[in-house]
Amino acid sequence: MPWAKYISVVLASMVKFVAGPLAGVALSLSWWETALCTVVGMMLSVVIFVFLGSAIQQLIGRYRKKKPKLFSKRSRLAVRVWKRSGMTGIAILTPLLFTPIGGTLIAVSFKVPKHTIIAQMLLWGIIWGVIMSFGLFQFRSLV
């Protein structure tokens, strides 16, 4: 088994979800292997940041030199999505816009229960992982 290829896709998708399917195509994995590794990578990030999210936010806040702007483009977008569709909206857009780390920290900052974050992110991670992986493999000659 090509463990190094799998680990590469997992690590890529831990940071940026879209990087997982791209890495899978580049490493010549099958679409289902790529989708599985992409979802595993996203969920590793989600689980880590669900359980350490508050501590990480406090640690960053402690060492920040100046207070960040209250409203940035990204925070306004997160609030708008949250008001319109709640945790489901955050979970749907996490793979596309927020990254696994960013989407999880947004959900943690809105005080969503841990089990809800994990369940929603898993559901939408699987859906987007299959769509992106299968889609990229269908059009890999264009990539």
pLDDT, residue 58, reads 82
The pLDDT tens digits for 59-88 are 887 887 777 677 777 778 888 988 999 999
Instruction: Report the alpha-carbon angle 132-113-97, nearest 5.
Output: 30
- 143 pLDDT band, cuts 50/70/90, is low
pLDDT, residue 1, reads 60
Instruction: Report the alpha-carbon angle 111-98-75, nearest 5.
Output: 60
pTM of the predicted structure, to 2 decimals: 0.86
pLDDT, residue 9, reads 96
127 pLDDT above the threshold of 80: yes
pLDDT, residue 104, reads 92
